[in-house]
Structure 1
Amino acid sequence: MNEHNFPPNFIASLSAENGFDQENFINAHQFEDAPTSIRVNPFKPSAIKNIQHVPWCPDGYYLDARPSFTFDPLFHAGCYYVQEASSMFIDHIFKTINPNNDEAIKVLDLCAAPGGKSTLLNSALNPTDLLVANEIIKTRVPILTDNLNRWGTANTIVTNNDPKDFTRLKSFFDIILVDAPCSGSGMFRKDPEAMNEWSEGNVNLCHQRQERILADIYPALKEDGYLIYSTCSYSHQENEDILDWLCSEFDLESVRIPISNDWGIVETQSPVKKAWGYRFYPGKVKGEGLFASCLRKKENSGNLASFKNNTQQKLPGKELDQVRSYINNPDEFYYFKVNDDWMAINRNHKESLNILQRHLYIKKSGVIIGKLAGKDLIPDHELALSLIINKNAVLQTALNKEQAIQYLRRDNIDLSTDDKGWTLMTYEEHPLGWAKLLPNRINNYYPKEIRILSANPPREW
């Protein structure tokens, strides 16, 4: 690959960017493969062997080769997330601005699908903190929900709203991440097809869209709250120019993030307001293209009117007792019903849930526990993968790798057992989902929409 393989005027548009090395950049795209990296789930520890750390994220690791994640039961159990290494820098920013996390905070990931940065933020939060993961595009909400379900926490709410809808939530969030829709040039090595969509006109359109998104979301950030802004673009218009616009139009101050010289990250400043930004170039970092920055809000946009929901459900006590028996530390949770589904979310998020229900379209709140049929609970898949399940209250069936793949494909499972009833199917002690053991068969309740569809495992499996 040389300069002429990139879109017209692309290399020329980067020639003046801080830290841009044309020869190194072209060589990285021509001769170096995109590295494979994962971020482990700290709430579901599993064995990680012979792999190198991502320097700016303690939970991030590079793999020597790209395995078939589809045929790894630990992936489906939520033990790790396959994430591009540069984007894990958001973890470093978040822990820099929120080092102790002593007070409960509310965090918004505005453009959240497929869920990489949401699960990253969630890993850094306490149960008393709340994460709202929003996806603007309706068709992308299911994959976001699935990935957060795998992560297993109960302090997450998934919404499907336009940024302008958050204008009503004045001063609600302590931290807002806007990983903005962009021209995508940072993904050229990983996704060469993205080159066909790049143009200077598209860069300008993205700049305008980014301004609109940021203006819409600004009132929802508290005074002294933090805005984290990132793109997977190298274009000045989508990065440093946006920082100058933010600092000119709003009362925001730039936050400098400490980095190590060994990381290869290029520290940059916007031309007018000298706001700090961080550029990732393939060839200089072991990762793809990224721009990230952080700003602190220095004014008050007003306060959200208090809201008390006086129409709380009156839940039947006997049913509630049945549901609570499936939950670890049940007093820590607030229980409610949506249609026939029993749900649970951390108790201190009850008021926030009421507020968000009033202003936003909610797709997921906390964890779905299941439906009650007489004295029996029909458990939900979310409960199986959650961290709140009381494993002592349910039967568990351990599977080997071959059986686990059969289960994840919803195939018949070759299993010999005398147990009967609902069982939690596990692999290396990590739950995968539910099955029902009957006298002459096993009913597989793994959700059809997320089952493995690939025909056969690769040979090395």
Structure 2
Amino acid sequence: MSNILPNDLINALKGDPSFDYEAFIAVHDKEEKTTSIRLNPFKDATTEGFDVEKAIPWCRGGYYLKERPVFTLDPLFHSGCYYSQEASSMFLDYAIRSLALHKEPIKVLDLCAAPGGKSTLLNSALHKDSLLVANEIIKSRVNILNDNLVRWGNPNVVVSNNDPSAFGRLPGYFDLMVVDAPCSGSGMFHKDHTAIDEWSLSNVKLCSERQQRILGQSLDALKSEGYLFYSTCSYSQEENEDIVDWLIDCFEMEAVDIEVDESWGIMVTKSPKHKAATFRFYPHLLKGEGFFFAVLKKRGDQSSFSMKKVKKEKNTAPQQVADTWIDKEGLYVFQHNDMLHVFPKQYEMDLQALQNVLYLKNAGTQIGKLKGKELIPAHDLALSNRILTDLPAIELDLEQAQQYLRKENLALSINPDNLQGWILVRYKGTNMGWIKAMPNRINNYYPKEIRIANL
């Protein structure tokens, strides 16, 4: 018996005669951290510079690395060229493709979204004209969620900070809901032994009750025939298969099976009551952490949110101000407080509806604020995938790029006859942010709240 893992957890897993608990124990007796990244398909992102072990078979653009680099010191990380994400949780990409949810625009809610791994994956995997609402209930975690989606660079995203119950005010609105629910965390024991001390059967029960509350208060937002992706990083049946059976019993949900390659090492399990197909990821069977995943489809009738209730407000934002900064095709400009944003025109009324019932942290891409007739460009604009490619720019080497990320003074040779005013700084051809070149100095406009520490 392991001296590390809780006996209650091992005894529960031993109840499955097909489960190799000895191999499971053995892999947990040594604390290991598997490192993996996922490239941003919208940016000029490659694996150059990484010591790649192999590709992740269930996720396009996902790779295992042989060792973990210091991501904080890599300008391409801050520019949104890739995201460091646990490999098992990248299975969403395969689920989306298996269900053909990427074929046409849909409306998607990532309900428990921070820090943003699944949101950035959804934003990559879905049709480019889909609408993604990324929500986080905990206020202190919303900023990192927003920062990661800003780095990803697409304008078809809304970031919100609401309790799950708030989405009951949007009945039948979403085609897909992703609920990566707060859990007891036993799936993380392999890489973090300190989490073991916090685990208990009482906490499993508490998490199961919380998961039911989150789902029960938000599922009305899923349209009839819409899909639910439910996941945890727990091994406990009470938080996984039992929740799936509960959803089938109480919400007219139907489990959806997805065919997976046996060589991947993903264990297909069945829920106790309804024999619903679910998926478990174990670190002794594959290269990844513990993860549970299920797909369900809403079969019952669901009333729908009426867009007729939404009154279109007059938009007085100057539309032409964005023309010299960003590719505005399919986008419109709106103003919130003193900041101008761009957002997909096809979802203009949807944004109004979301504003009416939710607290929104951000929507679309901030492009800047007007000072007289001059636009003071936003950092978000620099990272946008829609920014114009012919704007003034200067390339930095690694040392200069790291100085920029620390918000230090930059000693750059800029010919004042050619470059003055707002200038993009780039590293390996990828935009990092703005500087402003004056006749006698250069101002570093990297946001101080996200600058990196002196490492």
Shorter-chain TM-score tier: over 0.9
Taking the aligned partners of 1:63 and 1:281, their CA distance within structure 2 comes to 19
- Comparing 155-164 with 118-127, greater Cα deviation is found at 118-127
| CA-CA distance at 1:45 after TM superposition | 2.6
Task: State the partner residue of 2:413.
Answer: 416
1:150 lines up with 2:151 in the alignment: yes
Taking the aligned partners of 1:352 and 1:344, their CA distance within structure 2 comes to 14
Where does the alignment leave 5 or more consecutive residues of structure 1 unmatched?
Answer: 457-461
Taking the aligned partners of 1:208 and 1:340, their CA distance within structure 2 comes to 42
- Comparing 417-426 with 9-18, greater Cα deviation is found at 9-18
Which amino acid in structure 2 is aligned with residue 244 of structure 1?
Answer: D
Task: State the partner residue of 1:126.
Answer: 127
Q: Tell me the secondary structure at the aligned position of residue 285 of structure 1.
A: coil
Which amino acid in structure 2 is aligned with residue 11 of structure 1?
Answer: I
1:382 lines up with 2:384 in the alignment: no
2:335 to 334, 337, 341: 337
Taking the aligned partners of 2:46 and 2:319, their CA distance within structure 1 comes to 37
Which amino acid in structure 2 is aligned with residue 123 of structure 1?
Answer: S
| CA-CA distance at 1:12 after TM superposition | 1.2
Q: Indicate if the aligned counterparts of 2:266 and 2:279 stay in contact, CA closer than 8 A.
A: yes
Alignment of 1:203-352 (within 5 A): 203-306=204-307, 307-315=309-317, 319-328=318-327, 330-352=328-350
Which amino acid in structure 2 is aligned with residue 403 of structure 1?
Answer: Q
| CA-CA distance at 1:216 after TM superposition | 1.1
Which amino acid in structure 1 is aligned with residue 398 of structure 2?
Answer: K
Q: Tell me the secondary structure at the aligned position of residue 218 of structure 2.
A: helix
Deviations 1:78-123 (A, max 9, x none): 0000000000011111221235523x21000000000000000000
Q: Indicate if the aligned counterparts of 2:107 and 2:175 stay in contact, CA closer than 8 A.
A: yes
Task: State the partner residue of 1:16.
Answer: 15
| CA-CA distance at 1:375 after TM superposition | 2.6
1:38 lines up with 2:37 in the alignment: yes
| CA-CA distance at 1:443 after TM superposition | 0.5
Taking the aligned partners of 2:90 and 2:440, their CA distance within structure 1 comes to 48
**Residues 359 and 27 from structure 1, CA distance in 2 versus in 1: closer, same or farther, beyond 3 angstroms?**
same
| CA-CA distance at 1:331 after TM superposition | 3.7
Q: Tell me the secondary structure at the aligned position of residue 159 of structure 2.
A: strand
| CA-CA distance at 1:19 after TM superposition | 4.9
- Comparing 195-204 with 22-31, greater Cα deviation is found at 22-31
Task: State the partner residue of 1:396.
Answer: 393
Q: Tell me the secondary structure at the aligned position of residue 114 of structure 1.
A: coil
Q: Tell me the secondary structure at the aligned position of residue 243 of structure 1.
A: helix
**Residues 260 and 338 from structure 1, CA distance in 2 versus in 1: closer, same or farther, beyond 3 angstroms?**
same
Q: Indicate if the aligned counterparts of 2:101 and 2:126 stay in contact, CA closer than 8 A.
A: no
Where does the alignment leave 5 or more consecutive residues of structure 2 unmatched?
Answer: none
Taking the aligned partners of 1:119 and 1:273, their CA distance within structure 2 comes to 33
Q: Indicate if the aligned counterparts of 2:165 and 2:214 stay in contact, CA closer than 8 A.
A: yes
Q: Tell me the secondary structure at the aligned position of residue 326 of structure 1.
A: coil
Q: Tell me the secondary structure at the aligned position of residue 342 of structure 2.
A: strand
**Residues 18 and 150 from structure 1, CA distance in 2 versus in 1: closer, same or farther, beyond 3 angstroms?**
farther
Task: State the partner residue of 2:138.
Answer: 137
Q: Tell me the secondary structure at the aligned position of residue 249 of structure 1.
A: helix
Taking the aligned partners of 1:417 and 1:80, their CA distance within structure 2 comes to 30
Q: Indicate if the aligned counterparts of 2:5 and 2:25 stay in contact, CA closer than 8 A.
A: no
Which amino acid in structure 1 is aligned with residue 32 of structure 2?
Answer: D
Which amino acid in structure 1 is aligned with residue 218 of structure 2?
Answer: I
Q: Indicate if the aligned counterparts of 1:127 and 1:154 stay in contact, CA closer than 8 A.
A: no
The sequence identity of aligned pairs, in percent, is 50
Deviations 1:297-338 (A, max 9, x none): 1122201122332432223xxx4312222111x241121101
Q: Tell me the secondary structure at the aligned position of residue 278 of structure 1.
A: strand
Which amino acid in structure 2 is aligned with residue 429 of structure 1?
Answer: G
Task: State the partner residue of 1:428.
Answer: 428
**Residues 210 and 100 from structure 1, CA distance in 2 versus in 1: closer, same or farther, beyond 3 angstroms?**
closer
1:79 to 78, 81, 85: 81
Task: State the partner residue of 1:92.
Answer: 94
Taking the aligned partners of 1:345 and 1:191, their CA distance within structure 2 comes to 40
| CA-CA distance at 1:362 after TM superposition | 0.4
Which amino acid in structure 1 is aligned with residue 39 of structure 2?
Answer: V
Alignment of 1:97-108 (within 5 A): 97-102=99-104, 104-108=105-109
- Comparing 79-88 with 32-41, greater Cα deviation is found at 32-41
1:407 to 399, 404, 407: 404
Q: Indicate if the aligned counterparts of 1:381 and 1:446 stay in contact, CA closer than 8 A.
A: yes
Deviations 1:247-282 (A, max 9, x none): 111111110011011100100010111111100111
Task: State the partner residue of 2:450.
Answer: 450
Which amino acid in structure 2 is aligned with residue 42 of structure 1?
Answer: P
Q: Tell me the secondary structure at the aligned position of residue 4 of structure 1.
A: coil
**Residues 24 and 345 from structure 1, CA distance in 2 versus in 1: closer, same or farther, beyond 3 angstroms?**
same
Task: State the partner residue of 1:459.
Answer: none
Q: Tell me the secondary structure at the aligned position of residue 61 of structure 2.
A: strand
